[in-house]
Amino acid sequence: MQSTKSSTSTNNTCLSKMETCQTEGCGEPAKLQCPTCLKLGIKGSYFCNQVCFKGSWNTHKAIHKTAKSENDSNANSEKPYNPWPHYHFSGKLRPGRISTKRTVPAHIKRPDYADHPEGIPVSEQAMKGAEIKVLNEAEQEAVRKASLLARECLDVALAAAKPGVTTDELDRLVHEAAIARNCYPSPLNYYKFPKSCCTSVNEVICHGIPDDRPLKDGDILNVDVTVYHNGYHGDLNETIFIGKVDEAAKKLVRVTYESLQKAIECCRPGVLYREIGKIIQKHVQQNGGFSVVKSYCGHGIHSLFHTAPSVPHYAKNKAVGVMKAGHCFTIEPMISEGVWQDETSDPGWCVSLTGVAR
């Protein structure tokens, strides 16, 4: 028991208002207050003396158990959601909850992995090690059409991206935009990827899974959209700022974009694929001392989502092949303001920088 002399001023004020003993049938002026109730933040619990307090203990103590249970419940609800408790996060970003897999109407043409139980692109695996495909005019036009539709889907997502909006909501918009254009969202079920686009925030390099984390002011967001239309894929992505970002973020994204444009300018028949990485790395190092992520590359794309050639973005790479008219491939420089090394999260998709950087 705690006497009124050792109570806080708030409790003294309560007692000065002639609180009465809560023991049933007593009604005497209260002089004491239950110390356990004080610790648990329970209001009231006044007694006139130790005799009344001890006499009421068997019934009174029940409110302690109830209060502790409520406090524990509140404490648990305040803990951040973490589906990967054994994964070491390099930065401040944490995953959110992933919604259920979205469905695609049966009438929409889909790639072979769409309905595979493990999401395996059998046609891609059969073409591993093959020469770079030269697309004829009809095939080139099919890729252009798919890419234009993918751009429209991407624009829908970017228009909605702002503080407070979740990346899962952006995924929903991309998914519905693709369906409305008679397209299959290519990432969905590709090696069991659970969503229709990739959303990579801050230290996440690529393959971020859309979830219920709201975007925050100052975030850097990359949205990567690919759609499959009439048997061909169109793949593109864009990085944007959410709200106001710092000058360092602006420089990082600007230099990355400039490196992409310089790489595109060099592309023509007869150029070695390994030259692309040389151009990109030279620019990002000269204009900010940034690092180039080495684990992920650009790739060939047409009727297959990922195929030859492999297009590294760093210098002194060993990319095989020479550009020819009719080749179709992506260039996707991933640039870091810190280290280039990366690590993959527990589910095997989300790729983040190992250092605290973007």
pLDDT value for 36: 82
Does residue 29 register a pLDDT over 80?
yes
pLDDT value for 213: 93
pLDDT value for 205: 85
Q: β-pairing, 307-311 with 298-300?
A: antiparallel
pLDDT tens for 251-300 read 999 999 999 999 999 999 999 999 999 999 999 999 977 899 998 899 99
Does 224 carry a binding-site annotation?
yes
pLDDT band at 11 (very low <50, low <70, confident <90, very high): very low
Does 332 carry a binding-site annotation?
yes
Q: Among 10-24, 123-137, 194-208, 292-306, where is mean pLDDT lowest?
A: 10-24
pLDDT value for 302: 98
pLDDT tens for 136-164 read 999 999 999 999 999 999 999 999 999 99
CATH topology of domain 122-353: Creatine Amidinohydrolase (3.90.230)
The DSSP call for residue 356 is: S
Does residue 132 register a pLDDT over 80?
yes
Residues 234-242: what's their mean pLDDT? 98
Distance CA 71, CA 60 (A): 18
Q: Among 17-31, 42-56, 197-211, 317-331, where is mean pLDDT lowest?
A: 17-31
What tokens were used for 102? 């979205």
- Strand extents, DSSP E, the chain: 2-3, 32-33, 46-47, 184-185, 198-201, 204-206, 220-229, 232-241, 291-292, 298-300, 307-311, 335-336, 342-344, 351-353
Does 299 carry a binding-site annotation?
yes
Does 124 carry a binding-site annotation?
no
Q: Among 108-112, 230-234, 295-299, where is mean pLDDT lowest?
A: 295-299
pLDDT value for 15: 42
* Domain locations along the chain: 20-55, 122-353
Average model confidence (pLDDT) for the chain?
86
pLDDT band at 216 (very low <50, low <70, confident <90, very high): very high
pTM score, two decimals?
Answer: 0.75
pLDDT value for 1: 38
pLDDT value for 53: 79
Q: Among 82-96, 117-131, 160-174, 214-228, where is mean pLDDT lowest?
A: 82-96
Q: For 319, what's the count of Cα atoms within 13 Å in the CB-facing half-sphere?
A: 28
Does 72 carry a binding-site annotation?
no
Does residue 6 register a pLDDT over 50?
no
Does 88 carry a binding-site annotation?
no
Does residue 246 register a pLDDT over 50?
yes
Q: Among 76-80, 81-85, 287-291, 344-348, where is mean pLDDT lowest?
A: 76-80
Question: How far apart, in Å, are the Cα atoms of 213 and each of 52, 74, 196, 243?
Answer: 52, 20, 17, 16
pLDDT value for 26: 77
